[in-house]
Structure 1
Amino acid sequence: MLIRMLRRDWLRNKSISAALLVFIALSALLASSGANMIAELSNSLGALFAKSGVPHYVQMHAGEVDRAYIDRWARDNSLVRQHQTAEMIRIEDAHLALGDKSTVGSGGVMDHYFVRQNPYFDLLLNLDSQVIQVKRGEVAVPIYYKQRDGLEIGDKVRIAAQGFDMELTVSEFVRDVQMNPSIIHSKRFVVDERDFARLNGSGIGEREYLIEFQLKDAAKLGEFRTAYETSSLPKLGPAIDHTLFRTLNALTDGLLAAVILLVSFLIGAIAILCLRFTILAAIEEDYREIGVMKAIGIAPKEIRKLYLLKYVMTAAIASVIGYATSLLLHPLFTRNIMLYIGTAPKGPALQLVPIAAAFFIFAIVVLFCMLTLRRFNRISAVEALRSGTAGEARPSGTKPSLHRSRTLSVPLFLAVKDIVGRFKMYRMLLFVFIISSFIMLVPINFFHTVQSPDFNNYMGIEKSDLRIDLQHAGSAEDDYERILGQLKNDSDVERYAAVLVGSFKTIGAEGALENMTVETGDFTTFQLEYLQGAAPSRADEIALSYLNGQEMEKKVGDPILLIVDGRETTLKVSGIYQDVTNGGRTAKAALPVRPETVLRYELAVDLKPGVDVAAKREQYAQEMNPAKVTDLAGYMAQTFGNTIDQLRLVTRVATAVALLVSALITALFLKMAVAKDAGQIAIMRSIGFSLRHLRIQYATRALIVLAVGIAVGTVLSNTAGQSVAGFAMSFMGAARIQFAIDPLQAYVLYPLLLLAAVSVTALVSLVSIRKMNISEMNAT
């Protein structure tokens, strides 16, 4: 009997039943996809670390090393399980041609290191997560170039300079546990021992080293770091550890997951409202039948069971559909993870994660149904049989009068009057439209912010027309002086400023010496926006990145002890700035730097008005070799290109979801409103109102509420949305995000898309307003 009743109900209410099915399925789909993505990222990253043998501590060093001394020190340190010193040959971008380029390139920000496969750990893997073994004449290329340049197996890589010419064939693509992400400007190419020896003897590249350690107990990393930093081992370069590797590898997909979680949370809020609308619409349609069942003695509890069974079955079917669809869309959401990190077999627990997420949606639906269906206790059998519709509270306040309206047409006036008089009913629709606008605008605004030239403020670099980077190696000091002279004598240059990046020792909270990467130079010519305070302008001042300030528990005005020229020097924190590069841990100061401690040179250049920036960049790239010359847009694209691609996917998904949810809730709301107003509609038809006028009334109600919702949603996305984005980015080094808004998209294009979706849905839904007359009203 119950099955027959459910079948008749489905056939009688196809639109509502189908809409509810679609919505719950959508909720289950998003929940399962988000949970699956997080599980996949965690599992795959753990497998990549295990397969490659991630080092716990790595010291990069530019210059020669004493391998024997490093070996002795490692053997004598009881914390070390194994170690290795990996030699790398850095090839300048100007000497390297990838793929179908006929000439060598210029202008890239990446450092290209040619290496051999490591013998013990920190193994470089291919796309099948197998240890790479290349033959003579072959090269394994980082995944970054496969994605950026479209390289394929069989393409050529050419190294040419100073009479040296080597052509290699791409045989594999490299998954590198250390240097995978685009935000890391170092990339490793794997070649055969004989090709490496040939490169090493050519003299066209600089040798650098990775001094790597695996510890017996990773929990003692802090103790080991202190031991290394207080030793006389090589330190001319950044030191990084496995926790930073995990953070940087998860950065892009973690950012994507954070935005998806935000959208999922908002969709969950709308899900509850849509479910409530659906149940109320069903009650409106079945109000007389409910009264009849009560009148013949059926207990409210039994009536609730009939409806609850319908929604339990609907929720179960929809959750299964949502989960199954998430499996089909799994490659779309995890394609970046599969490319850069790879996939790994998941145990039963991880395989249950998306199922548990779908079941959670099912449980929430059932629980909310049970709470909403308590409304049956308040239904009067007499009132239901007499009126046939649910009553509503009388509106409070003064209602507008038709005879006083001089500007609004009758249908428009009646629509406004109804919204004012029954605002309690419309506020749910308003809330949904606000959230839908928020869902669309926050991702799109964040997407444009990451693409904006002003994103330099979150990278800790000053805004300029051109940026020149020079690594410390070989004749770097002479090259630096030559570049300074060229900039000084170039009439196209309006201003420039130089920054030297060096490594200093600071005294940590526990009194141990710690390395700190500090930029020193002129920070007044090119201004950076600071969260607190200002740039250092005196020799006794230092500015800290946000994460450095958090970890060191320092704020503006606090003292910091730094070892400068062998002496303890007390510096005062002048400001706190945001920086998502270098793990978010940097500092700026006006300190003297010894040339032998310089890690790299950075120069910011502004050109005079009218000078072609692209042409000047190409000129400098040729003349200032081996320095890397980029404009800010190119620097951003190469550093965050992968992140931007992921955010583009999120904006498309969020937009589609917002439009679908808005259309769905509009259809449900109008169907409920028409059912509630059946008698009123029949009276209006009998006194001469046309179907067109009636449809305009109801469509206008939805569109007025939508206009208010878009306005409020826009304000919220630019205020609360920025706070949410700042909270997510604070873990990466940027705590206060200021959206860079594209007015055409944020205020015109996307609101018009929402308007179109709601308008079309309203017109289609209002076809149900047929030729109602007085007899039909009495029948209801």
Structure 2
Amino acid sequence: MLARMLQNEFRRKKGITLTLFIFVLLAAILVASGTRMIIELTHSIEHLFTQSKTPHVVQMHSGELDRYKVNEWTQANELVDQYQIVDMINVDGSHVYFGAESEKGSIMDMDFVVQNKDFDYLLNMNNEKVQVNNGEIAVPVYYLQEKQLQLGDHVVIQNGTFNRSFRIVDFVRDAQMNPSIIHSKRFVISTHDFQMIQHNTGETEYLIEFRLLDPSKTNEFIQTYQHAGLPNSGPLVTYSLFQLLNALTDGVVAAVIIMVSLILIVIAICCIRFTMLATIEEDYREISVMKAIGISGRDIRTLYLSKYVVIAGLACIVGYLSSIFVNRLFTSNIMLYMGIAPTTWLNEALSLFAVAAIFAIVLGCCILVLRRFNQISAIEGLRSGSLGDTNISTMKLSLSTSRWSRSVPIFLALQDVIQRKRMFQLILLVFTVSTIIIIVPVNFLNTLRAPSFISYMGVGQSDIRIDLRYSEDVEQRYTELLEHVRTDNDVLQYSPLVTSQFNVRNNEGGYDHLSVETGDFNIFPLSYLSGSAPKTDNEIALSDTNSREMDKKVGDPLVLIVEGREKTVIVSGVYQDVTNGGKTAKALLPYDKDRVLWYVVSLDLKDASQIRDKIVAYEQAFAPAKVTDLQGYLHQTLGGTIDQLKRVTIAVLIVSLLVSILITSLFLRMLVAKDHGDIAILRSLGFALSNIKLKYVTITLILLSIGVLAGTVLANTVGPWIISAIMSSFGASHIEFVINPWQAYILCPLLLASAITIAALLSIQSIREASIVQMIVE
């Protein structure tokens, strides 16, 4: 009987059965893809770190290095398992060529290294140790993506009379410096070529790297290192921070996919409910006949449930298999930058569990809806052929006094919406949620693209940013740069900023390193979550991440070591910063020139049209300074994240429109089936089919208008809160959307409205020409 029933269902109700299958399929694909992406991201990072033997602690250092002192201290430290000092040659981008043009406009530090011997291996695209010969080079995957490089292409270093060409033989995955948000990239060359470059160009910098016997004692080790007076002229980075920075780009995208997946699952459940209600309406007489001949309600429910078990089960299986291929769309960046970790049974088990959860939710929904069989009376069903409307509001409109009295179909539509509010709640919810999941990713994408997003990176908005990294004469170059800017008549205003390291007392009474930017923060101000910029040398502003980790709020004291003495400063404000792991600070303090990390000069021009020419002029005058405009800085830092989010946004838009079209079709099929008798009465009163169809289109448009309005409001209020929750772990806990009115208020709602209107017009074609007697009998 079940086999015959299923066969008849596919023949008689191909549309409804196929739609139900599609919705469960979509839900299964989305949840399986989202789950698999999170798993693959986690496992890929773990695999990359394992294969490369990523150090647990890295102290970056510029300037002279006492290797003997570091070695002696390390040998006596019981926490250390392995250690090494990595020499890097930092070559200015203006001397590096991937083609005809140099990389003088790049914000990335280009560091040339040899492969490490003991750990911190630089890996190729198979996650194996990179090996190169003389004249060969392995280039970071960042440039593979940005410059569309290929094996066999050449990289040229040219500085004056020195000219050296390298052939690209591999691309590098670097656990420390993979993501674009880290402005340093390591190129692997041979020992012979390294020595040649070292003697002819660039500045030597160092990575003092440690692997610990017990990684849980990282903080204890850092405290010991900092108190030993060892080289520390640069940031100190930990294993956990490397993990966070590697997860940033794909982690944000994965979080957005999971969020959208969960919302779409809710919509899918609503769709299933509509589908089943429509099926019950169409099968009402058959169900009544089965009850009349003695088949129990329980047996009837079992028959129907078996049908949905088969459909949902098949959809979940196909959805799970499809997710394997769909997932490649979202994991392409993971595969490029980290590779795919070997698949384990846990990977598939979790994805299968997620799909099984969808199957269980579908069955639970089916069981709840099938309880309606208890309300079906055999006699009433055979007499009326309809379950009838329940919970109809007693509120009615008067046709004679209504302003819509000249358009009776519109009046009837309004009255229908008012009287049957409960019936329309779910379709209204779907329209609202569809609007939200279309607009929120679009707004987030526009926010990442906007120049104002620079404020979430702890940087004020300016026309041009000039970065000076460490070199032997950096102090002199910085002084010359300031003098030049000060006398430049084209400059409207400028702000010199110096980032250096200070020791800050922690809650345990020891001292940690704190990167503090010093300068005037009123020229190019930031937006503060609380408080304001420091105005005196007794105040300090903390990044949101530092504020939470240090448990310091506005007004709380903080103890720093300034010029060799303890100095208590008060937290004046808290700002957002997604760079450097979100751990920065700003103050008006005298800095130690020996502990400077970098110098920055931000400036505005009197004539913004001169930005490109002025960038070129400053690059030539102050090479190897990195001179960028705001948009270029954002693109080089967040370009990969923006591209990933753009793909997700397009996918979400397509899925949301598809879901809205299908559920509109289902809803109108159900409504027309339920109102069959009312339609017959309207026809008997002389209403044309066009007027009856207008009534149902109007109902859809009324609900759509309310849903789009509510969805737009929620997308621009609740949406930033959702995105802020995702971004809080990366240092930005309060995102404010930059809204493009044309896209958010016109284009997106218009796309949704157009798709739903077309679906409504096609769906109501089921209201056919027929004799009045035939319609009443049916």
**TM bucket by the smaller chain?**
over 0.9
1:556 counterpart (548, 554, 557) = 554
Amino acid aligned to 1:322 = G
The percentage of counterpart residues that share the same residue type is 49
State the alpha-carbon separation in 1 of the partners of residues 379 and 744 from structure 2.
52
Cα deviations across residues 554-602 of structure 1 (Å, max 9, x unaligned)? 0000000101111111000000000000000000000001222211101
- Residue 48 of structure 2 is matched in structure 1 by 48
Question: Equivalences for 1:742-753 in 2 at 5 Å?
Answer: 742-753=740-751
Q: Which moved more, 1:770-779 or 1:343-352?
A: 770-779
Match of 2:385 in 1: 388
**Counterpart of 1:720 in structure 2: which amino acid?**
V
Query: Which residue of the other structure, out of 519, 527, 530, is the alignment partner of 1:529?
Result: 527
Partner-residue secondary structure (3-state), 2:151: coil
- Give the deviation of 1:413 after TM superposition: 2.1
Report the CA distance between 1:684 and its aligned residue: 1.8
Match of 1:709 among 707, 726, 734: 707
1:379-778 aligned within 5 A:
379-393=376-390, 395-407=392-404, 409-778=407-776
Q: Deviations over 1:719-771 (max 9, x none)?
A: 11110111111111101110001111111111111112111211221111112
What is the CA–CA distance in structure 2 between the aligned matches of 1:452 and 1:520, rounded to whole Å? 26
SS of the residue corresponding to residue 627 of structure 2 reads strand
Q: Which moved more, 1:552-561 or 1:454-463?
A: 454-463
Counterpart selection for 2:256 from 248, 255, 259: 259
The one-letter amino acid of 2:355's match is A
Identify the residue that residue 16 of structure 1 maps to in structure 2.
16
How far the C-alpha of 1:353 sits from its partner, in A, is 2.0
Deviates more, 1:569-578 or 1:382-391: 382-391
Q: Which residue matches 1:27?
A: 27
CA contact (8 A) 1:56 1:215 kept: yes
The one-letter amino acid paired with 1:552 is M
Compute the displacement of 1:103 (Å): 3.7
**8 Å contact 2:55–2:119 — kept in the other structure?**
yes
Give the Cα separation in 2 of the matches to 1:409 and 1:238: 73
1:81 — aligned with what?
A: 81
1:288 to 285, 290, 297: 285
Secondary structure of 2:199's aligned partner: helix
Bigger mean CA offset, 192-201 vs 394-403: 394-403
Q: Distance between the aligned counterparts of 2:168 and 2:325, measured in 1?
A: 32
1:255 and 1:22 mapped to 2: Cα distance?
28
The SS at the match of 2:528 is: coil
Instruction: Give how far 1:299 is off.
Output: 1.2
Structure 1 unaligned regions, length at least 5: none
Deviations 1:667-720 (A, max 9, x none): 110000000011111222233222222222211211221111111000001111
Structure 2 residue matching 1:306: 3-state secondary structure: helix
1:396 positional shift: 2.8
Contact 1:686 1:773 in 2 (8 A): no
Q: Deviations over 1:119-172 (max 9, x none)?
A: 110000011111000111111111001101111111111111121111111111
Residue identity in the other structure for 1:50: T
Matched, 1:278 2:263: no
Amino acid at match of 1:393: T
Of residues 355, 359, 369 in structure 1, which corresponds to 2:356?
359
Given the alignment, which residue of 345, 349, 356 partners 1:348? 345
The alpha carbon displacement at 1:406 in A equals 4.2
User: What's 1:223 paired with?
Assistant: 220
Q: Is the CA contact 1:41–1:250 (under 8 Å) kept in the aligned structure 2?
A: yes
More divergent stretch after superposition (451-460 vs 401-410): 401-410
| Number of the residue aligned with 1:173 | 171
- Paired with 2:772 and 2:624, the residues of 1 have a C-alpha distance of 88
The question of whether the paired residues in 2 share the 8 Å contact of 1:60 and 1:235 is answered with yes
2:305 & 2:205 partners in 1: Cα distance? 69
Compared CA separation, residues 159 and 526, structure 1 to 2 (3 A): same
**Number of equivalenced pairs:** 777
Cα-to-partner distance string for 1:292-340 (whole Å, 9 max, x where unaligned):
2222221111111011011111100111111111112122111100000
Match for residue 147 of structure 2?
149
Does the Cα contact within 8 Å between 2:500 and 2:517 map onto a contact in 1? yes
CA contact (8 A) 1:157 1:169 kept: yes
Q: d(CA) in 1 for partners of 2:324 and 2:758?
A: 31
Q: Deviations over 1:610-646 (max 9, x none)?
A: 5421221122122121111111110000000000011
For normalisation by structure 1, the TM-score amounts to 0.98
Q: Where do residues 312-351 of structure 1 align in structure 2 (5 Å cutoff)?
A: 312-351=309-348
User: Judging changes above 3 Å, is the alpha-carbon distance between structure 1 residues 211 and 394 closer, same or farther for their aligned structure 2 residues?
Assistant: closer
Q: Is 1:133 aligned to residue 140 of structure 2?
A: no
SS at match of 2:597: strand
- Cα pair 2:543 2:577 within 8 Å, conserved: yes
Partner amino acid for 2:335? Answer: M
Q: Deviations over 1:193-237 (max 9, x none)?
A: 1110000010x2010000000000111111101111111211000
Q: Contact between 2:35 and 2:258, CA under 8 Å: does it hold in 1?
A: no
**Matching residue of 2:115:** 117
1:244 has 2:268 as partner: no
Q: Distance in 1 between matches of 2:413 and 2:614?
A: 61
| Comparing 551-560 and 361-370, the one that deviates more | 361-370
Measure the CA separation in 1 of the matches of 2:223 and 2:124: 34
Aligned twin of 2:39: 39
SS of residue in 2 equivalent to 1:402 = coil
Q: In structure 2, how many angstroms separate the alpha carbons of the residues matched to 1:89 and 1:431?
A: 59
Residue in structure 1 matched with residue 70 of structure 2 by the alignment: 70
Question: Does 2:198 correspond to 1:200?
Answer: yes
Which residue pairs with 2:60 in the alignment?
A: 60
Letter in 2 for 1:388: G
The corresponding residue for 2:210 is 213
SS at match of 1:5: helix
Conservation of the 8 A alpha-carbon contact between 1:291 and 1:379: yes
Alpha-carbon separation, structure 2, partners of 1:328 and 1:501? 46
Distance 1:490 1:389 in 2: 83
Structure 1 vs Structure 2 CA RMSD: 1.2
Could you tell me which residue of structure 2 aligns to residue 372 of structure 1? 369
Instruction: Tell me the distance in 2 between the aligned counterparts of 1:104 and 1:681.
Output: 74
Once the two structures are overlaid, the 10-residue window that deviates more, 569-578 or 343-352, is 343-352
Note the alpha carbon deviations across 1:227-282, whole angstroms, 9 max, x for none: 11111211000000110011111111110111011101111211221111111111
Q: Which amino acid aligns with 2:253?
A: L
Q: Distance in 1 between matches of 2:486 and 2:341?
A: 55
CA distance in 1, matches of 2:101, 2:722: 46
Q: Pick the aligned partner of 1:311 from 303, 308, 312.
A: 308
The one-letter amino acid paired with 1:399 is K
